[in-house]
Amino acid sequence: MRARTRLAVGAVGALTAAGLLTGCGDAGSSGTDAPQQGATGAGCAPVAGDQLVVLDDDKKLQNTDNVIPAVNADVATPQLVAALDKVSTALDTPKLIQLNKAVDVDRKTPEVAAKEFATANDLTAGIAKGPGGQIVVGAGNFSESQTLAELYKITLTAAGYQVRVQQIGSRELYEPALEKGEIQVVPEYAATMAEFLNTKANGQNAQPVSSPELEKTVTALKAAGDKVGIAFGAPSAAQDQNAFAVTKAFADKYGVSTLSDLAAKCSGQATVLAGPPECPQRPKCQAGLVEVYDFKAGSFSSLDAGGPQTKNALKTGAASVGLVFSSDGALATG
């Protein structure tokens, strides 16, 4: 699984990247019983193909795991936050996919990919100088976090700070360091971080505070951050969260572009859903597809969480639909 595992948020962070074992379900929820399938229709047999496409989550099963800068409150000057917000303004999910493709597929370093993105998007234009000083940008133990950290380094350097990026690991390691000021900035994911702080303060069975509505999630996130000395900048439009993908050939053959389409046209015996072993019980994976969309797969293939096994099963025609992460570089179309 990605280090930031998003399967559990809602009630993100695997990170594939980002160290949070939040899995496919609500925070503190593990689940023990697989949902009843009831797949009595014909369903949609897998269709092999090289290009993957994400089906639109039109009923908002997933929460809002938008990329957002987290900052130690002691250094969160207006100029520093404004410099970080330049990254948020420039990013959306298609651009994040391309950044991940540059690193994970094209094998560029996060630093090189970030520099190219900054140049192409004029990222340092108009950045006001701050008071300066040493800033350590922490990064999770996956490439997306490292690339985002390099983007923050570029804008903070333009704002007059002396910046270095330090890879720290999972959220369990870097969040306490952020609170203490051992690092000053880290790229975060709104819903996953909101639930991390929520369960840290209120226990693993705390009522979830994140939401499919970004404004509500960010409000809850900032309230939780205020209690531990962490401020947050503006959320970007870029999201890295659970998503369900099919091959383009599958989408074209069966005429599906949304999860509602999938449920209406492909519930049935021939449909194979692929994902991690815990997917059938998780509210943000198969259990959620059943509850929110009334989608009933004919069978479930236990593979990985958005990893090479699931993507290979889709491409080779072993699975109809599979759990992926919405910013995966494998989803790039160009």
pLDDT attached to residue 266: 97
Q: 3-state class of 14 per DSSP?
A: strand
The structure tokens 């997933």 sit at 62
Closest CA to 201 of 180, 181, 220: 220
> pTM (2 decimals)?
0.86
Say if residues 304 and 121 touch (Cβ distance below 8 Å): no
The token pair that represents 31 in the structure block: 């689940």
pLDDT attached to residue 92: 97
**How far from 36 is each of 282, 293, 295, 299, 319, CA to CA, in Å?**
13, 14, 11, 11, 20
pLDDT attached to residue 33: 38
Task: Spell out the residues 6+ positions from residue 14 whose beta carbon is closer than 8 angstroms to its own.
Answer: 1, 2, 3, 4, 5, 6, 7, 20, 21, 22, 23, 305, 306, 325
Rounded-to-integer distance, Cα 46 and Cα 302, Å:
16
pLDDT attached to residue 334: 59
- Give all strands (DSSP E) within the chain, no chain letters: 52-54, 67-72, 134-140, 162-169, 185-189, 230-232, 242-247, 268-275, 297-302, 321-325
Residues 201-208: contacts with CB under 8 Å, at least 24 apart: 201/227, 201/228, 203/28, 204/27, 204/28, 205/28, 206/27, 206/28, 208/9, 208/10, 208/11, 208/26, 208/27
pLDDT attached to residue 333: 77
**Residue 121 class from Cβ within 10 Å (0-12 exposed, 13-18 middle, 19+ buried)?**
middle
Rounded-to-integer distance, Cα 107 and Cα 304, Å:
22
pLDDT attached to residue 111: 98
Rounded-to-integer distance, Cα 316 and Cα 301, Å:
14
pLDDT attached to residue 2: 41
Mean pLDDT per block of 10 residues along the chain (334 residues) reads 42 32 32 46 96 96 96 98 98 97 96 98 96 96 96 98 94 95 98 96 95 96 98 98 97 98 97 96 93 97 94 98 96 80
**Residue 134 class from Cβ within 10 Å (0-12 exposed, 13-18 middle, 19+ buried)?**
exposed
